[in-house]
Amino acid sequence: MDMQPEDKSANRGQSPLRLIIMGGLGLLLVGLIFIAGLAFGLGIGALRQAAVPDENVSTQGGGSSDAVDADESSGFNLNPLLPGSEGGNDAPSNEVPEDVDNFDIFWEAWNQIEDRYYYDLPDEQDRVYGAIQGLTDSLDDPYTRFIDPERTQIEMEDMSGEFEGIGAYVEEAPQGGVFILSLFDGGPAEQAGVEAEDIVVAVDGEDITDLILDQAILLIRGPAGSDVTLTIFREGETELIDIIVTRGRIEIPTVEYELLEGTDIGYIALTRFDSSATDRLNEALSDLIDQGANSLVLDLRGNPGGFLDQAVSVADVFLPSGVVLIQRDVDGNQRDYEGRNGQLGEDIPMVVLINGGSASASEIFAAAMRDYERATLIGTTTFGKGSVQTLYSLSDGSQLRVTTANFYSPNDIEINEVGVEPDIEVEIPDDADPEADPQLDRAIEFLQTGQ
């Protein structure tokens, strides 16, 4: 699409898509991007322990003021206590403001660069994107940011819980290229012979060592059924290896669960609050109960967040009806998000595991469990991401995420820059045995002994 639409009025009503609440460490979701990110999934999403997402409210374009988060089908009730509190309802227009006194300086600088810059200029669109990025950077807020169309498409696809790609968790290699952190079991990359700790240095013959991570990932990802040739450096090999991978449709594992051996304790790891989180958690919990589980460990460690409606509806599985979180905007308008009633897990004794990688939606859930005295929190203090971003879809497919509110626990306790403290603190030392899990061990002990 053109960068500047002919009919500026056509896009004035654009507002966000949905409430995404993710923390802010970094996770580009190449399947995930949550903010300033390091870990990406080649089609999958960021590494579970590595990221913390950002929070967003958004509405689809075309002037609609009905945010998706108000949908009754999401399993919770929205109860705005004061008028004007719905995020995204007052969408800005595309008209150029007349009261920006210093905007002429921008064009002076633009023209000087365009007329006199010695080296090759980036194309006009890239310069416009750079200017918008500079505007968001000037706010000194890591959660207010601009996302270009390609990255937007990747993020939204990944938040759906599925993507097309090779099935690998990756990060940028120190010397350039893409470092394979781990592989999806049975995924295309694993089947083709790619191994953890491989470094991809070229894609279909194109050197990627000078590319930033998301650019490299765009080359690696592609339609299911298509082939991609990865040129790989592997420790111990004297020559580079070419591996042809047939891309596939990858389902991101939102929930992993088991009945802990020798116990009647169910264990569920919820890796993020994507659009399928509640359904998958209910399926896992139902199966565990059928297997004989009488108590539960819900593991939110490293869970960077996700959709707000999923945070509320997952909490609704375990809580009686009532407020799950409180949101306030810059004008002090307050909005309560309420669960309808407890469901399958309302009465099951439970522990929630948290750590510094538990952010945003994870913190909403953990704080609600604490305030209702519904679960015991074990681990370390959470990330502390309690702000809300409204996600605006721009006319060319890019997105602007703007911090518009903060959220608080049901008891009106601050979360932003504070986090949620555990009831029982259990640190994991840096030199701990990688096979040991003292936080999980403490959770099992608590559920078995009550102390």
Q: How far apart are CA 137 and CA 127, in angstroms?
A: 15
Q: Which residues are catalytic?
A: 360, 371, 385
- The answer to whether the CB of 250 falls within 8 A of the CB of 167 is yes
Q: How far apart are CA 130 and CA 351, in angstroms?
A: 45
Largest pairwise CA distance in the chain: 75
Phi (first) and psi of residue 239, to 5 degrees: -130, 160
- The answer to whether the CB of 11 falls within 8 A of the CB of 61 is yes
Rg over CA atoms, the chain? 23
- CA distance from start to end of the chain: 61
Nearest to 57 by CA among 415, 448, 405: 405
Mind giving me the DSSP string for 66-125? Answer: --GGG-GGGSEEEEESSTT-STTSS---SPPPS--TTHHHHHHHHHHHHHH-SSPPPPHH
Chain centroid, CA 157 distance in Å: 12
Per-residue CA distances from 116 to 110, 113, 119, 126, 128 (Å):
10, 5, 9, 18, 18
